[in-house]
Amino acid sequence: MVKQEAQRDQTASMEDYLEAIAKLGGARKIARVKQISDVLGVRMPSVTSALKKLSEQELVEHERYGHIKLTPQGDKVARDVISRHEALTRFFAQALGINRETAEEDACKIEHVISPLSMERLAKFVEFIGACPLGGANFPSRYEYYLEHGELPQDCSNKGVKKKK
């Protein structure tokens, strides 16, 4: 399930920078200005300006001409953005049958504006359809049961959804 803060303090642009740093840096969460510039398709002075703001918010550590590293709080925000992006992409691709490229583009746009409640429900829906495929006359009631009880109805498989303990 996707957990989210009730309110986001970063702009969509700032979230994109954090997401890019996280993806570029891998496990070490370290990147360079040029890499971020290339990935986001922006000029290096724009990256430097954004990093200054993110540094003031204590989301990144950045020394002039050095590496950029996410702080623990920056990493948390980046993971949240990535989680929203992945859930939205899966929803568009799996539930709606949209091609992967369009699903990725749409997810990138929507991940910044979707409400926490809608995101939570969408993530649950994606988990649910992984274990309890779409179709059949009783699909809506099975999904409602899952939302209310946090566990799959007996006529669904267990793959993809963790049972409530």
For the stretch 106-130, pLDDT in tens is 999 999 999 999 999 988 888 887 7
DSSP bridge pairs for 31: 68
Where helices occur in 57-161 by DSSP H, the ranges are 72-90, 100-110, 116-131, 139-149
Whether residue 104 has pLDDT greater than 90? yes
Cα 70 → chain centroid:
16
Least confident of 28-32, 38-42, 88-92, 133-137: 133-137
Tokens standing for residue 158? 């267990």
Tokens standing for residue 152? 């799959």
Which H, E and C letters describe 47-81, residue by residue?
A: HHHHHHHHHHCCCEEECCCCCEEECHHHHHHHHHH
Q: Encode pLDDT of 32-85 as tens digits.
A: 999 999 999 999 999 999 999 999 999 999 988 789 999 999 999 999 999 999
The whole-model pTM stands at 0.74
What's domain 12-76's architecture? Orthogonal Bundle (1.10)
Domain locations in the chain?
12-76, 115-165
